[in-house]
Amino acid sequence: MQAVEKKSTAKTQNSAQEKAIQFLFKYGAIFLLVFIILYFSTISDTFFTYGNFTDILRSISIVTLLALGVTFTLVVDGFDLSVGSTMSLSTVVSASLMVWYEMPLWLVLLLPILVGVLVGVVNSLLIVVIGIPDLLATLSMMYIVAGLHRTYTEGYSIYNNMPLTSGGTAPGQFSEAFLWIGQGQMLGLPVPVWIMLILVLASYVVLNHTRWGRILYMTGGNAEAASLSGVNVKKVKFTAYVVSGVFASMAGILFTARVGSGQIDAGAPLLMEAVAAVFVGYSVLGAGKPNALGTFFGAAVIGILLNGLTILNLPYYAFDIIKGGVLVAALAVTYIYAKNKFAKT
């Protein structure tokens, strides 16, 4: 009799634990966001204001673009570690085209995107054609692209009227039209915010409401089954890495337009934030998979948290601890939920 009661108690406890994990997985990120907003609103009058929240949205716009690229590769069961370096390369290329070579705006916007496409193609060749594991291939490309952009600029950031190593000063300057992309306002919101929202919405529609999006998820879920269904798995993965390169290059252009200079290694510090945003987004409303809206939500959680800590005058060098903690928490909840789900099946 006692053994039966113990079994019943253990079963009830396991059931309660499973429900708690399921609830945390589905709503934990939302409750975290609400808690962060309420907490910082009570300790600072400047936090919960329109101006501060538009600043937060502006600050996360670049990270969100990077994270969307990572999202597409994770959807096909890949991973792109080279997005930060690709962004850095795009940043200095867009700056140099305007400051060094005085090229027209359309070329300043187009050529860095083609650079991102090229990086995506090389990643795809390494992963899809040669068969190098995605983490190792994109890690290698991260270092190669980082070296390329430093070599291209000889280790210098690019800015108006900068002295050139060959002598003299740079002939060009950033145009007002280009700077408007990163610094302008439209309908009460910064232009980078509009760009971010449009790309998040476009990514959501593609991933959730198009045949190609279903094929991407099918490939990531079970590549062998997708192949047997007639899907060209290699082509799908190839496309996902090219899309990631394009998003990273757009983030680089946006960064250059925002700060008005081409800074070396601009994307390196943003890689971890982008990855954290994607994994926080995994669990939004129990999605359980990489998704565009979740990625945006994850970037917002991290952006709001860092903004509040800045208001509290937390030293900037401690921010990486917070980012790492958020990433660990998101991964822990995701993998515990996945393990329990797998155990039940």
pLDDT in tens, the chain (345 residues): 555 555 555 556 666 666 766 666 677 778 878 888 998 899 888 888 999 999 999 999 999 999 999 999 999 999 999 999 999 999 999 999 999 999 999 999 999 999 999 999 999 999 999 999 999 999 999 999 999 999 999 999 999 989 988 888 999 999 999 999 999 999 989 999 999 999 999 999 999 999 999 999 999 999 999 998 999 999 999 999 999 999 999 999 999 999 999 999 999 999 989 998 998 888 775 567 899 999 999 999 989 988 988 888 888 788 888 878 877 877 777 777 667 665 665
Tell me the helix, strand and coil percentages in the chain, rounded to 5: 75, 0, 20
- 136's CB contacts (< 8 A; 6+ apart) are none
Alpha-carbon distance of 329 to 194, in angstroms, equals 30
Alpha-carbon distance of 220 to 289, in angstroms, equals 10
CA nearest neighbour of 304 among 19, 32, 12, 3? 32
Place of tokens 């994850």: 298
Q: What is the dihedral of CA 70, 72, 77, 78, to 10 degrees?
A: -50
Alpha-carbon distance of 52 to 262, in angstroms, equals 26
List the structure tokens of 48: 């919960």
Alpha-carbon distance of 135 to 103, in angstroms, equals 36
- pLDDT for residue 235: 95
- pLDDT for residue 318: 82
Beta bridge partners of 185: 190
Beta bridge partners of 184: none
List the structure tokens of 52: 């501060």
Alpha-carbon distance of 52 to 58, in angstroms, equals 10
Kind plus residue range of the DSSP H or E element containing 117: helix 105-124
- pLDDT for residue 25: 67
Three-state SS for 186? Answer: strand
List the structure tokens of 247: 């998003």
- pLDDT for residue 72: 97
Asked if residues 334 and 25 have their Cβ atoms less than 8 Å apart, the reply is: yes
- pLDDT for residue 285: 59
Q: Amino acid identity of 345?
A: T
- pLDDT for residue 316: 79
pTM equals 0.91
CB atoms within 10 A of CB 153: 22
